Amino acid sequence: MRRKKWWLAALTLITVFQVISMVQVLFDQPAENALFVLDGKGLDAQSALFFGIFILVEWVYFIAMSIARKHSDPALELVAFFLTGIGLVVVAGANKEQLKTQFIAVMLGIVCFAVMLWLIGNVDRAMLMRTPMAAAAIGLLVLTLILARNIQGAFNWLQIGGMSIQPSEFVKVAFVFVGASTLDKLQTTRSLTKYIIFCVVCVALLFLMRDLGTALIFFFTFLVLAFMRSGDFRTLVLVCAAAAMAAGLVVLIRSDFVMERFSTYRHVWDDIYGKGYQQTRVLIYSVSGGLLGVGIGKGNLKDVSAATEDLVFGMICEEWGIIIGILVVLCILFIAFHSIRCAAGARSAFYAISGIAAGMLMLFQAALNVFGVTDLLPLTGVTLPFISRGGSSAICCWALLAFIKAADNRTWIKRGELGATQQ
């Protein structure tokens, strides 16, 4: 009972923080005919509805889990909801017209989280999905390469109706799924060879699409999966394959499109109105936020291209302050370390491998985003997990979270089960 009250208090604090944050971007409409007015501005009813539903979903999820899975640890979901709430407010503060799309994607992501938990809840069922998942992933990347149009130098977006999706985000889930299920029950050299071919094909297709950031994330995840395998001959084969992929990356990095993209790395101040425009502005504005920020929705960086996607960490530092910026980084670190902690007691190697791979993938992706924004690494154009605007990214992050949740044994202890109180 005391444990439940502790998490109830944590969720209450998060909700209070979210409400205070959301109110700052809700009142920006003309006061005429508005139901509520604050400082001469009327309430944006549609945005208020989206935020209200999001908070309601948080509470419904927590209450349902506390009933159905009494001993499940909700810390992971609390962190995810906290980061997602910040992302929704950032999007609303920059452009409310984009809030609806992001909100729908977040809701779909939460549904995907639940579906993925059910899918991998049974290891045998998950193993049956390995080959179809691999085929679907490669097929989706090939389709993207054929049909995608050039957006900022990359061919990684598909237009379906009036919506844009980034298929490589969904392939991240398949990449972790296929890798973990293959390494969990690796019986033959043939199976290993197929997996290596799958990895090489995925990374190669991403480079052909000129999606360097995602290719690096896939390569890093491959190394994590290889490391998770026990130290036998098969592991050596994986490491050798990784080395071969790295050699291929070195060759491709010499291509013109990569050199052009990295031409401003460590030289952003040489051309502040040209190629260095984005990063010089993000560096200036993020520092101007100080400890507490200039105010949500009141920053200047939101007017710069890709502010709510690639440069979102800078927006947080400017509008929310460096304290919240550091808190965001700590939350991502918590997710990664939580995946490692849960893996030690996972009920199957599949859960241990997939949980750590998912956690490290998000950590590496966050590092590319944060260090790219601050010019410590080249700007690769990857999103900040749970926060950056992008429906595909939001769905992917929640789906990956299911792997980490599944690695925690307490997730599978139902209310009233024998021995549950010992967890």
Contact 167, 395 (CB under 8 A): no
What integer is the mean pLDDT of 395-422? Answer: 73
What integer is the mean pLDDT of 240-260? Answer: 57
Task: Give the β-pairing of 37-38 and 41-43.
Answer: antiparallel
Choice between 251 and 60, residue whose per-residue pLDDT is larger: 60
Choice between 28 and 68, residue whose per-residue pLDDT is larger: 68
* pLDDT beyond 50 at 420: no
* Residue listed under structure tokens 């105010």: 295
pLDDT number for residue 423: 38
H-only helix segments in 39-156? 45-68, 75-94, 99-120, 123-128, 130-147
* pLDDT beyond 60 at 145: yes
Range of the domain at 35: 2-422
Instruction: Indicate the pLDDT class of residue 1, thresholds 50, 70 and 90.
Output: very low
- How long, in residues, is the chain? 423
pLDDT number for residue 64: 86
Q: Which two tokens stand for residue 102?
A: 């992001």
pLDDT tens-digit profile of 344-365?
878 888 888 889 999 999 999 9
CA 248 to chain centre: 26
Taking the model in full, what pTM does it have? 0.87
pLDDT tens-digit profile of 67-114?
776 667 788 999 999 999 999 999 998 888 889 999 999 999 999 999
Measured CA to CA, the distance from residue 1 to residue 375 in angstroms comes to 48
* Residue listed under structure tokens 């409400």: 19
Measured CA to CA, the distance from residue 156 to residue 148 in angstroms comes to 6
Of 58-62, 109-113, 130-134, 318-322, the range with the lowest mean pLDDT is: 130-134
**E-only strand ranges, 154-271:** 158-160, 163-165
pLDDT number for residue 237: 64
* pLDDT beyond 70 at 342: yes
pLDDT number for residue 367: 93
Instruction: Indicate the pLDDT class of residue 421, thresholds 50, 70 and 90.
Output: very low
CA 344 to chain centre: 23
What integer is the mean pLDDT of 157-167? Answer: 76
pLDDT number for residue 419: 42
Of 213-227, 258-272, 408-422, the range with the lowest mean pLDDT is: 408-422
What integer is the mean pLDDT of 10-24? Answer: 91
Instruction: Indicate the pLDDT class of residue 42, thresholds 50, 70 and 90.
Output: low
Measured CA to CA, the distance from residue 316 to residue 330 in angstroms comes to 14
| Average pLDDT for the chain | 81
pLDDT tens-digit profile of 267-322?
777 777 777 777 888 888 888 888 888 988 888 888 888 888 888 999 999 999 99
pLDDT number for residue 88: 94
pLDDT number for residue 244: 64
* pLDDT beyond 90 at 422: no
- State how many domains the chain has: 1
What are the φ/ψ torsions at residue 158 (nearest 5 degrees)? Answer: -115, 140
pLDDT number for residue 227: 73
